[in-house]
Structure 1
Amino acid sequence: MTLSLSVSGMSCGHCASAIRDEVLPLRGVEDVEVDVPAGRVTVTGTAEESAVHAAIAEAGYEVVS
């Protein structure tokens, strides 16, 4: 499964690292790609979408629909 999310509030490499650090440890996550200029986070694996949303919020960012 590939989950592509719009995320607000990202502006730099530190933002990308913070999100990767929270999302990568989740069970079922195989890879995390963060495109800061586009405001996109793409997660590959079998993790629950709600867990990914919570991890992104824990990093201090918001998933937008």
Structure 2
Amino acid sequence: MDYRSIEINEINALNQTVIEDQAQVDAAMANMDYYIRRGKSERARVTLNGLRAIRNSIRGLFA
């Protein structure tokens, strides 16, 4: 694909949406923030569990 053939107006047109109900947009943004926080906490939990497993494995090598 030749990127030089795309006009900037075509790219801008792809990102335009019509907001009909601002309350729905606000609710969606609040939910998005909730899921982002939840995802970060889940990632931290998985990382911590992984580190604990590595620590226990190393401990098992020297026990």
Structure 1 length-normalised TM? 0.24
Structure 2 length-normalised TM? 0.25
Of Structure 1 and Structure 2, the greater helix share is in 2
Of Structure 1 and Structure 2, the greater strand share is in 1
Larger Rg: 2
